[in-house]
Amino acid sequence: MNLIAANWKMNKTVKEALKFFNDLNSKTDEFADNEVLICPSFLALSEISKIKHEKIKLGAQNFYFEDSGAYTGETSLLILKGFCEYVLVGHSERRSIFKEPNQLVNKKVLAALNHHFKPILCIGETGDERQKNKTNEVLSQQLKACLKGVSENQIKNLVVAYEPVWAIGTGKNATSAMAQEVHEFIREVLTDMYSQTTARQLKLLYGGSVKPDNAKDLIAQEDINGFLIGGASLEVESFVEIINAAK
Ligand code: 13P
């Protein structure tokens, strides 16, 4: 089963989010047999979680690794408990705009796993790093640093999302061959860190300008097990098209 995840980022008022969710929730019978996940804003997450949603899972876009305390503006996993199953960690926008380094991403991954959330760990190279042939080096460093101290048993609850920074919101997606090559490499690194059996079981998502018209080619690749979608997840129609393309 593929995981088709929507990252709404800082979009949709609570009212708009509720309308989208109710629309989507009424169409779940039309969904291909995939796991579907929505990551709205915190406020919308709180409201959406009150709606009965058997076939749609919920996730948070961010959190802080401490349980409580003097961290103005932050939201902890204790606060999120009961509202969602998944949490995004290490998204490139958090890394570049909010200066989150790998060490902080690692603390968040460990906290999420300890609190029994499913983290979606985002990794990806910049356009400059790709041009300099540093893609594999950067991804391997990110994986090793962000997964430090994560046991083989714990990693089974984690999902990795490969999001090349140059493909996010640009309309320039990685071709299916490029994405497959990187996903295969990620699985090799995870095999070295854990075992082949475990690495094979992990879901590897692709993110970066996924649209209804490129979803089919991308999902046909052996090591692509789903998507993390920004722009195209903001309209019910395009999101459902992607869910159904990813059979
Ligand atoms: P786009 O689909 O808008 O390129 O965004 C991808 C992304 O960052 C999802 O987390």
Q: Is there a catalytic annotation at residue 91?
A: yes
Structural tokens at position 109: 């991954």
The pLDDT score that the predictor gives to residue 235 is 98
Q: Where do the H-state alpha helices sit in the chain? A: 14-25, 42-48, 77-80, 92-96, 102-114, 127-131, 135-146, 152-155, 176-193, 196-201, 212-219, 236-245
The pLDDT score that the predictor gives to residue 246 is 83
**Ligand 1 and 242: CB distance under 6 A:** no
Ranges in the chain, pLDDT < 70: none
Q: Which residues contact 92 (CB under 8 A, 6 or more apart)?
A: 122, 124, 163, 165, 168
Cα angle at 230 between 164 and 17, to 5 degrees? 160
Domain 3-7+12-245 fold: TIM Barrel (3.20.20)
Name the residue ranges covered by the structural domains of the chain: 3-7+12-245
Protein residue whose Cα sits closest to atom 5 of ligand 1: 230
The pLDDT score that the predictor gives to residue 102 is 98
The pLDDT score that the predictor gives to residue 173 is 87
The pLDDT score that the predictor gives to residue 247 is 75
Q: Is there a catalytic annotation at residue 163?
A: yes
**Ligand 1 and 207: CB distance under 6 A:** yes
Mutate to test the pocket of ligand 1, among 87, 89, 229, 234 (most ligand atoms within 8 A of CB): 229
Name the active-site residue from 93, 129, 163, 183. Answer: 163
**Ligand 1 and 226: CB distance under 6 A:** no
User: Are the beta carbons of 205 and 228 closer than 8 angstroms?
Assistant: yes
Name the active-site residue from 91, 93, 100, 125. Answer: 91
Rounded to the nearest whole angstrom, what is the distance from the C-alpha of residue 70 to the centroid of ligand 1? 32
The pLDDT score that the predictor gives to residue 140 is 98
**Ligand 1 and 228: CB distance under 6 A:** yes
